[in-house]
Amino acid sequence: MQEYFDKTFCLEVWGDYACFTRPEMKVERVSYDVITPSAA
């Protein structure tokens, strides 16, 4: 029998690039060079 535990993760990421994706592209993600209006 496996036991499952609730775990909290905090991930901080920085760099010269970011991946902005569009919500309607759930299966095949597309990345843009600039921030999309929905991500702003």
Angstrom distance (rounded) from CA 38 to CA 3: 38
At residue 22, the pLDDT reads: 66
At residue 34, the pLDDT reads: 72
Angstrom distance (rounded) from CA 18 to CA 33: 8
At residue 21, the pLDDT reads: 67
At residue 1, the pLDDT reads: 60
Residues 6 or more apart in contact with residue 31 via CB below 8 angstroms: 19, 20, 21
pLDDT in tens, 2-39: 776 777 877 677 777 767 666 676 666 666 677 767 66
At residue 20, the pLDDT reads: 67
| Residue 11: alpha-carbon gap to chain centroid | 11
Angstrom distance (rounded) from CA 28 to CA 6: 30
